[in-house]
């Protein structure tokens, strides 16, 4: 069974936050090898989550695959303030 939309969104928020926070951290700590490793792990996880979300609940951003052949899901799925 597919992971629920809420659960996937929550994971995207968690991993997405890791990328944002580590990205800003590394802007002032560019030689931190541990942070770079951790960032690369999170980047891979984020790509996978984003693909899984697009497959089941519609594209998160332009560049995600549209999983329907006959419906543009960007225009038919909810925006965040209505979720």
Partner 1 sequence: MWVYEKKLQYPVTVREPDPRLAQLLMSQYGGPDGELAAALRYQTQRYTMPTNATKGLLTDIATEEMAHLEMIATLIYKLTKGADLDEVLGSVFAGTYVDHGKGLFYVDATGNPFTATYIQCKDDPIADLVEDMAAEQKARATYNHLIDLTDDPGVIDTLRFLREREIVHFQRFGEALDTLQQQYACRNQ
* Site residues (vs partner 1, CB under 8 A): 9-10, 12-13, 16-17, 20-21, 23-25, 27-30, 58-63, 74, 77, 79-81
Shortest spacing between CB 69 and partner 1, in angstroms: 21
Q: Shortest gap between Cβ of 28 and partner 1 (angstroms)?
A: 4
| In the complex, minimum distance from the CB of residue 31 to partner 1, in angstroms, rounded to a whole number | 11
Nearer to partner 1, 28 or 70 (CB): 28
d(C-alpha 25, C-alpha 20), whole Å: 9
d(CA 19, CA 41) in angstroms, rounded, equals: 10
């Amino acid at each position: 069974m597919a992971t629920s939309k809420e659960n996937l969104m929550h994971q995207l928020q968690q991993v997405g936050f890791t990328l944002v926070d580590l990205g800003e951290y590394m802007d002032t700590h560019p030689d931190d090898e541990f942070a770079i490793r951790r960032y690369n792990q999170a980047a891979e996880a984020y790509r996978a989550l984003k693909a899984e979300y697009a497959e089941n609940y519609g594209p998160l951003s332009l560049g995600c695959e549209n999983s329907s052949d006959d419906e543009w899901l960007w225009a038919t799925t909810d925006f965040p303030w209505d979720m």
